[in-house]
């Protein structure tokens, strides 16, 4: 039997485009003599549809799309994800389902059993879990159909659920497993997926065909990496990350190959994810042009490189906004970068605007000494100018704040923290440098001086980030343990961090939750990003 994996990029709620893409993929699979073509989880409507699922019209249009798809299934079986109504009054109104359609007939509908409600997932808010386990028979083969999380309770040292769907389905002696997935990217997940698929085939001793979505849906990025494993636990094929692709595998001729080694690929994967995150955010929202403040620092330099890769050099406007405290090399470094990339730029000094604000506020401020207030005024002057150009010319402002700064509140609300999408909000400062090094691996695109000079906001004479923060190598190490690993003060102390540092950093993180609630959506590339995956109370006292 020949099975095609159709790894595609869907647009939430864009039924016409999604349905056409699925029908075109069916035609391509037919041309390659596939018996079955497998699509991803909730492919018809896009994942995650969230509260769109509460609209009857949305569900009705899902069913209309299934009807259109069914009409194109002559001579081939199609397995595609779509929500379906629960006929029972009791329980949630919907199931997360996989339709098995062949020869213009719906042969079977499989409901998802394990509904993740953690991290970025909230499926039990909408869906009823499956309680009926049936394999599908097609062309003499018995097939176990599973949906994403249904395979993730196997090989897990700390199982989240009381059951595994395959424990029931394996009793019916299926020949292989089909899995429809919408598994979001983080830099640890490609390796975890291989571990999970291999754990399943090692447990149940049958092959698995795993199809994952690609594409960015606001903050969530799906990277694909669809794969096939044989009954002996060998990787027998894998589709590329971050690319739409359709590939056919012959179940009678699976050939073992070496599974990918992701240990040295973290920063390449992060780079590709961020580029896709920007590209899809703009395309799916109907935006074309981006703008950012280019400071001469490493964060804005990286954002510019990513945006140019995503949108094209002619569609990204850099604005240099030097203050009276900006060094000459900051402007020179920025000009060198835009020259290397061939992208447009403008220079708008902010001194006159800042001086005007100081004059306006002089009667109120009187002789009070300067402090962070004057620094924030400069940051907000820059934001006003960037947003004015955004409004006038239709640009979308790219936020350049990194995860280290966002974590400790080292940024100005309504200043450098504004924007339409936060590109680096899930990338620690030390990781920013590593991604820049990846960009420069073949030739110097980002000027070396940007990567070697001390980080500075340049809002007062001789300012350095280290005046206000611990060195980033130490800060990021502590933040990672606290945010990603959920290590509290005692655990951090046991890891060797200084108590005064722990108290200082945790206080900064927790007391700035209110700032993070007001920032743009953050592209998620880590196991724990600020936003939907990390839900902390603003007014909580714990660890503050």
The one-character DSSP state at 534 is B
For residue 287, give Cα distances in angstroms to 29, 152, 338, 380: 32, 36, 22, 24
Give tens-digit pLDDT for 253-279: 999 999 999 999 999 999 999 999 999
CATH 3.40.50.150 is right for the domain spanning 268-466: no
To the query of whether residue 235 is one of the catalytic residues in this protein, the response is no
At residue 465, the pLDDT reads: 78
What average pLDDT does this structure show over 391-400?
98
**Residues 55, 13: contact at Cβ < 8 Å?**
no
Domain range summary for the chain, segments of one domain joined by +:
2-262, 268-466
Residue range 164-203, pLDDT digits in tens: 999 999 999 999 999 999 999 999 999 999 999 999 999 9
Looking at every residue in the chain, the average pLDDT score rounds to 96
Q: What is the mean pLDDT of residues 504-518?
A: 95
pLDDT given for residue 159 in this prediction: 87
CB 436 within 8 A of CB 429: no
Residue 325 pLDDT greater than 90, yes or no: no
The confidence score (pLDDT) of residue 542 equals: 76
Say how many CA atoms lie within 13 Å of 516 toward its Cβ: 29
> Is the alpha carbon torsion for 398, 399, 403, 404 positive or negative?
positive
Largest CA distance in the chain: 88
Secondary structure class of 439 (helix, strand, coil): helix
Q: What is the DSSP string of 478-509?
A: HHHHHHTS---HHHHHHTT--HHHHHHHHHHH
Check pLDDT > 90 for residue 340: yes
Starting at the edge strand found earlier in the chain, the sheet holding 94-102 runs 105-111, 94-102, 77-85, 36-38, 2-7, 245-250
Tell me the pLDDT tens digit for each residue of 40-87: 999 999 999 999 999 999 999 999 999 999 999 999 999 999 999 999
DSSP 8-state class, residue 326: -
pLDDT of residue 393: 97
pTM given for the model? 0.96
Enter the DSSP assignment of 520.
P
Say which CATH architecture domain 2-262 belongs to. Answer: 4-Layer Sandwich (3.60)
3-state helix, strand, coil in the chain (%, to 5): 40, 20, 40
Task: Average the pLDDT over each of 16-20, 215-219, 286-290, 458-462 and give the range with the smallest value.
Answer: 458-462
Phi, psi of 209 (to 5 degrees): -110, 115
41 counts as catalytic: yes
Residue 400 has pLDDT above 70, yes or no: yes
Which percentage of the chain shows pLDDT scores above 90?
92
Q: Do domains 2-262 and 268-466 have the same CATH topology?
A: no
HSE of 164 in the Cβ direction (CA atoms, 13 Å)?
16
CA distance 193 to 190: 5
Q: Does the N-terminal peptide bond of residue 27 adopt cis geometry, omega within 30 degrees of 0? A: no
Q: What digits encode the pLDDT tens for the residues 483-494?
A: 999 999 999 999
pLDDT tens, 221-263?
999 999 999 999 999 999 999 999 999 999 999 999 999 999 9
Catalytic residue among 148, 236, 418, 436: 148
Provide the 8-state DSSP code for 2: E
| Polymer length of the chain | 544
User: Which residues lie closer than 8 Å to 407 by C-beta, 6 or more apart?
Assistant: 479, 483, 508, 509, 512, 530
Whether pLDDT at 544 is above 70: no
Backbone φ and ψ of 106, nearest 5°:
-80, 110
Q: Indicate which residue of 21, 112, 198, 279 is catalytic.
A: 112
Helix (H) or strand (E) holding 523: none
Find all residues with CB under 8 Å of 218, minimum gap 6, and list them: 281, 521
Q: Is 112 among the residues known to form the active site?
A: yes
Q: What is the DSSP letter of 229?
A: E
Catalytic residue among 41, 149, 405, 431: 41
């Amino acid at each position: 039997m020949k099975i095609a994996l159709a790894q595609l990029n869907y647009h939430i709620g864009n039924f016409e485009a999604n349905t056409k893409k699925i029908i075109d993929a069916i035609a391509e699979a037919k041309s390659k003599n596939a018996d079955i073509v497998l699509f991803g989880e909730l492919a018809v409507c896009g994942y995650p549809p969230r509260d769109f699922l509460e609209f009857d019209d949305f569900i009705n249009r899902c069913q209309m799309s299934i009807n259109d798809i069914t009409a194109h299934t002559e001579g081939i079986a199609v397995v595609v994800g779509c929500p379906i109504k629960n006929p029972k009054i009791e329980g949630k109104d919907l199931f997360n389902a996989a339709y098995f359609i062949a020869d213009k007939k719906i042969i079977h509908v499989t409901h998802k059993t394990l509904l993740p409600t953690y991290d970025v997932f909230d499926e039990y808010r909408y869906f009823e879990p499956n309680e009926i386990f049936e394999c599908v028979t097609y062309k003499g083969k018995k097939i176990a159909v599973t949906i994403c999380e249904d395979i993730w309770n196997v090989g897990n040292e700390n199982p989240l659920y009381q059951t595994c769907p395959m424990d029931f389905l394996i009793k019916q002696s299926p020949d292989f497993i089909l899995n429809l997935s919408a598994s979001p990217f983080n830099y640890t997940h490609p390796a975890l997926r291989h571990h999970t698929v291999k754990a399943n085939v090692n447990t149940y001793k049958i092959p698995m065909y795993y199809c994952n979505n690609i594409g960015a849906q606001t903050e969530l990025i799906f990277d694909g990496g669809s794969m096939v494993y044989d009954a002996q636990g060998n990787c027998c094929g894998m589709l590329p990350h971050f690319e739409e692709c359709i590939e056919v595998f012959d179940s009678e001729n699976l050939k073992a190959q070496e599974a990918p080694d992701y240990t040295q690929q973290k920063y390449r994967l992060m780079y590709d994810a961020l580029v896709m995150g920007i590209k899809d955010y703009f395309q799916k929202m109907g935006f074309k042009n981006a703008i950012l403040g280019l400071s001469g620092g490493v964060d804005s330099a990286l954002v510019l490189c990513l945006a140019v890769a995503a949108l094209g050099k002619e569609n990204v406007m850099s604005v240099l906004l030097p203050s009276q405290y900006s060094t000459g090399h900051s402007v020179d470094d920025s000009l060198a970068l835009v020259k290397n990339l061939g992208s447009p730029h403008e220079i708008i000094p902010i001194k006159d605007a800042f001086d005007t604000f100081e004059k306006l506020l002089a009667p109120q401020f009187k002789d009070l000494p300067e402090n962070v207030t004057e620094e924030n005024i400069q940051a907000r002057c820059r934001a006003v100018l960037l947003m004015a150009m955004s409004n006038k010319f239709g640009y979308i402002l790219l936020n350049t704040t990194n995860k280290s700064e966002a974590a400790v509140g080292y940024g100005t609300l309504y200043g450098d923290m504004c924007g339409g999408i936060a590109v680096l909000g899930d990338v620690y400062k030390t990781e920013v440098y590593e991604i820049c090094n990846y960009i420069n691996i073949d030739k110097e695109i980002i000027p070396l001086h940007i990567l070697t000079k001390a980080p500075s906001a340049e809002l007062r004479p001789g300012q350095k980030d280290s005046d206000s923060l611990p060195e980033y190598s130490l800060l990021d190490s502590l933040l990672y343990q606290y945010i990603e690993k959920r290590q509290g003060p005692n655990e951090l102390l046991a890891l060797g961090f200084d108590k005064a540092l722990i108290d200082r950093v945790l206080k900064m993180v927790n007391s700035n939750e209110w700032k993070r609630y007001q920032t743009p959506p953050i592209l998620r590339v880590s196991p724990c990003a600020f936003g939907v995956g990390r839900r902390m109370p603003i007014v909580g006292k714990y660890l503050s």
